[in-house]
Amino acid sequence: MAEIRLPRYLVTHMYAADPRAHVFEGKIYVYPSHDIDAGIPENDDGDHFAMVDYHVLSLEDVTGEVTDHGVALRLEDVPWAAKQLWSNDVAYKNGTYYMYFPAKDHDGVFRIGVATSSSPAGPFTPRPEPMKRAFSIDPAVFEDDDGTHYMYFGGIWGGQLQRWEKGTYDPTVPPEPSGDRPALGPRVARLADDMLELAEEPREIQILDPSGEPIKADDHDRRFFEAAWMHKYQGTYYLSYSTGDTHKLVYATGDNPYGPFTYRGVILTPVVGWTTHHSIVEYKGKWYLFYHDSTLSGGKTPLRSAKVTELHYRPDGSIVTLDGMTGLPLEE
């Protein structure tokens, strides 16, 4: 059997995108979305991403065998959801695993739901109603050193975050702000002790440029689009996210989970395919980036495949940029 080296695809028997990775029970568990060819024309609202279930993947070594634990949650089992099971994430507390997932409700509005399981592999049982104060897409849950859990969420354009800017849903709002006004930031809120609701009103995260000024709406190379992820390295909080139409994964750093965060640079240059979405996890003393591209589908945007590669930090805590085409560092 040929040696498997990084970067690598996790699975090839299905299309698995938006990989959110965590270490549970001594293994890496990956929670991807499950891409299918729904036969829907591509548009800026992402209607062609019409996923209907989630699988769970696990691996004990990043170059070893990957186990597909099968379907963990189905759209048809979520009473409030009508379509589009987009990127999810999972957290653990007191013997229970909590899956947070977005879906459009029967009015076409993205909400975030919760499902629970006694196993990181699922299956997960959904609650009958979505979370009360959460909205938009791409929930990601970060557990801080003191055991507090925070949820990060939001995405503009088809993710609808811009429609919630004034606190209530407004379908007439343009896909994103423009000009010199500050770009929209992702939302963050502490989770309640029972992990089923938000413990506070969501706050908008401010992302600043190195001079201390807010990233502007027209700065598409650095502004937030979707896929917020939080990790901590040597005491510093790293907020990473996708820039969307400029096809980069970038990051900003701060000294607390709420921000503000200062833009630091690019993690991953554009991959094959329109979208880019990721997670970052430490495992056995090394750091890894989980991401996806559309190479295996011949570049078809809605058919993406999850990958993993090693992530490297410089002595000052900055992240070495990876080439999206190769998954390898652009510098030594």
Tens digit of pLDDT per residue, the chain (332 long)?
Answer: 457 899 999 999 999 999 999 999 999 999 999 999 999 999 999 999 999 999 999 999 999 999 999 999 999 999 999 999 999 999 999 999 999 999 999 999 999 999 999 999 999 999 999 999 999 999 999 999 999 999 999 999 999 999 999 999 999 999 999 999 999 999 999 999 999 999 999 999 999 999 999 999 999 999 999 999 999 999 999 999 999 999 999 999 999 999 999 999 999 999 999 999 999 999 999 999 999 999 999 999 999 999 999 999 999 999 999 999 999 999 75
Quick one: tokens of 38?
Answer: 């729904």
Q: What is the C-alpha separation between 144 and 296, in angstroms, rounded?
A: 36
Question: What one-character DSSP code corresponds to residue 325?
Answer: T
Q: What is the C-alpha separation between 96 and 229, in angstroms, rounded?
A: 22
Query: Which residues, 6 or more positions from 183, have their beta carbon under 8 angstroms from its beta carbon?
Result: 176, 177, 207, 214, 215, 216, 217, 219, 223, 224
Global pTM exceeds 0.85: yes
Question: What one-character DSSP code corresponds to residue 295?
Answer: G
Q: What is the C-alpha separation between 111 and 126, in angstroms, rounded?
A: 13
Q: What is the C-alpha separation between 31 and 295, in angstroms, rounded?
A: 20
Residues annotated catalytic, as ranges: 18, 226
| φ/ψ bin of 69: left (φ > 0), alpha (ψ from -120 to 50), beta (otherwise) | alpha
Q: What is the C-alpha separation between 117 and 282, in angstroms, rounded?
A: 24
- Burial class of 64 by CB neighbour count within 10 A (0 to 12, 13 to 18, 19+): exposed
**DSSP secondary structure of 216-228:** BTT-TTTS--EEE
User: 122 φ, ψ to 5°?
Assistant: 80, -170
Q: What is the C-alpha separation between 194 and 206, in angstroms, rounded?
A: 28
Instruction: Report angle CA 91, 92, 97 to the nearest 5 degrees.
Output: 85
CATH topology of domain 8-311: Tachylectin-2; Chain A (2.115.10)
Quick one: tokens of 249?
Answer: 């994964």
Residue 268 contacts residue 249 (beta carbons within 8 Å) = yes
State residue 331's pLDDT score.
77
Helix, coil or strand: residue 178: coil
